[in-house]
């Protein structure tokens, strides 16, 4: 039978999550999606109205099928963790069972198991502030949404990921080199995500025989990246300074994710894989 993938962090057709879904679908995987609760309505409506149909086209001409979209807020592990103001918030009131534990339970009920878990989400409310001006709450929120969210997803999904399965998250080089503008503790959050990739590769490898890798992706004009504000400058910088002087397409990241999730990568775990036109190799620009 084909593989089944759960991709957390798709709310439109511009981000890495969408491109990864397409590459996995093109390779024959069944696609399940977890969408941030406040973005769920517009995503499902746009899907239904055919607004994404052009970008659903796979290499063989068929349209990518999304079997099911689950509401998800990866900042909350279980219902007891959800504060009253969120519970009663208009944007959450229409959905149920969107904490990480409940989503894993729903996927288990609906499908029994999965083979591939993708974490393509991040959030840092103070991302536009330098680290030196970031509040404790802003820093902890960045870590909660962008790093612990992966620990939590793996914790609750691991029992339903088949042995031989693979998990992948998305990181950014700001974890290891200074990228002014990537603030609010987001650089810290990516450093945590990369370190956790190694520890979780060990723990989940031993306990569940599943692999844990992260892709350090180059810049893409996604919704999240546009919110940070400096994406055009970073794309220009990469065009000028990377070994490969071309714009990075989301599909190139999607294809590496499909490789990492496949048996071709059966000995790769605990790795940070750069998909950035080689920019990470440069010490100075020329
Ligand atoms: P994106 O906007 O397509 O994806 C981010 C998603 O996270 C959105 O769908 C958003 O709704 C979701 N999200 C935010 N908070 C959430 C929560 N609490 N629970 C569930 N979902 C939540 O943007 P993207 O740039 O494709 O981001 C995907 C991943 O790629 C992120 O981890 C990001 O840091 C990483 N990345 C992006 C770039 C870039 O230049 N765009 C570069 C390197 C790494």
Q: Is residue 286 predicted with pLDDT exceeding 90?
A: no
pLDDT tens profile 156-169: 999 999 999 999 99
User: Each residue of 65-77: b (16+ CB within 10 Å) or e?
Assistant: ebeebbbbbbbbb
Best mutation site among 224, 254, 274, 276 for ligand 1 pocket (most ligand atoms within 8 Å of CB): 224
Q: Are 100 and 72 in contact (CB under 8 A)?
A: yes
Banded model confidence at residue 285, pLDDT cuts 50, 70, 90: confident
If you write DSSP's letter for every residue of 101-112 in order, what string do you get? HHHHHHHHHHHS
Please give the pLDDT value at position 153: 99
pLDDT tens profile 221-247: 999 999 888 899 999 999 999 999 999
Q: Are 214 and 269 in contact (CB under 8 A)?
A: no
Residue range 98-117: average pLDDT? 98
- Extended beta strands in the chain, E state: 4-8, 30-36, 66-72, 114-119, 161-171, 211-217, 272-275
**Residue in this structure with the two tokens 């844990």, named with its chain if needed:** 212
Residue range 123-147: average pLDDT? 98
CA of 120 to the centre of ligand 1 (A): 5
Which residues participate in catalysis according to the annotation? 172, 182
Separation CA 180–CA 188 (nearest Å):
13
Which residues line ligand 1 at a C-beta cut-off of 6 Å?
9-11, 14-17, 36, 39, 72-75, 120-123, 145, 170-172, 217, 219-220, 222-225
Report the atom number in ligand 1 closest to the C-alpha of 18.
Answer: 3
Residue nearest to atom 24 of ligand 1 (CA): 15
**Mean confidence (pLDDT) of the chain:** 97
Banded model confidence at residue 41, pLDDT cuts 50, 70, 90: very high
ipTM for the assembly = 0.99
Banded model confidence at residue 1, pLDDT cuts 50, 70, 90: confident
Residue range 75-91: average pLDDT? 95
Residue nearest to atom 40 of ligand 1 (CA): 219
Report the atom number in ligand 1 closest to the C-alpha of 145.
Answer: 18
Report the atom number in ligand 1 closest to the C-alpha of 173.
Answer: 43
Burial degree of 107 (CB within 10 A; 0-12, 13-18, 19+):
buried
Residue nearest to atom 5 of ligand 1 (CA): 121
Q: Are 154 and 212 in contact (CB under 8 A)?
A: yes
Residue nearest to atom 7 of ligand 1 (CA): 121
CA of 222 to the centre of ligand 1 (A): 8
Residue range 21-32: average pLDDT? 98
Report the atom number in ligand 1 closest to the C-alpha of 39.
Answer: 11
Residue nearest to atom 35 of ligand 1 (CA): 170
Best mutation site among 66, 121, 247 for ligand 1 pocket (most ligand atoms within 8 Å of CB): 121
Please give the pLDDT value at position 120: 98
Residue range 32-50: average pLDDT? 97
Q: Is residue 271 predicted with pLDDT exceeding 80?
A: yes
Calculate the alpha carbon distances from 151 to 101, 119, 147, 260 in Å: 12, 10, 7, 19
Calculate the alpha carbon distances from 227 to 11, 37, 148, 284 in Å: 14, 18, 21, 27
pLDDT tens profile 121-134: 999 999 999 999 99
Percent of the chain with pLDDT over 70: 100
Q: Are 48 and 66 in contact (CB under 8 A)?
A: no
């Amino acid at each position: 039978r084909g593989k089944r993938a759960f991709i957390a962090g798709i709310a439109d057709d511009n981000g890495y999550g969408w491109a990864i879904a397409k590459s996995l679908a093109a390779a024959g995987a069944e696609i399940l999606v977890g969408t941030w609760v406040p973005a769920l309505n517009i995503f499902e409506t746009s899907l239904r109205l055919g607004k994404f149909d052009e970008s659903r086209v796979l290499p063989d001409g068929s349209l990518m099928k999304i079997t099911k979209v689950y509401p998800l807020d990866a900042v909350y592990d279980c219902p007891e963790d959800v504060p009253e103001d969120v519970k009663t918030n208009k944007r959450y009131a229409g959905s149920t069972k969107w904490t990480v534990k409940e989503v894993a339970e729903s996927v288990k009920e609906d499908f029994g198991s999965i083979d591939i878990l993708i974490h393509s989400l991040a959030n840092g409310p103070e991302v536009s502030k330098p680290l030196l001006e970031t509040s404790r709450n802003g820093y902890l929120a960045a870590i909660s949404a962008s790093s612990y969210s992966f620990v939590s997803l793996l914790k609750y999904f691991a029992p339903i990921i088949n042995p031989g399965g693979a998990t992948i998250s998305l990181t950014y080089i700001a974890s290891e080199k200074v990228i002014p503008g990537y603030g609010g503790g987001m650089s810290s959050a990516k450093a945590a995500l990369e370190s956790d990739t190694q520890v979780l590769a060990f723990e989940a490898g031993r306990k569940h025989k599943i692999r844990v890798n992260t892709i350090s992706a180059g810049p893409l004009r996604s919704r999240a990246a546009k919110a940070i504000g400096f994406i055009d400058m970073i794309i220009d910088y990469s065009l000028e300074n990377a070994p490969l002087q071309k714009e990075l397409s989301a599909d190139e990241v999607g294809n590496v994710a499909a490789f990492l999730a496949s048996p071709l990568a059966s000995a790769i775990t605990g790795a940070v894989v750069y998909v950035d036109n080689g920019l990470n190799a440069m010490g100075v620009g020329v």
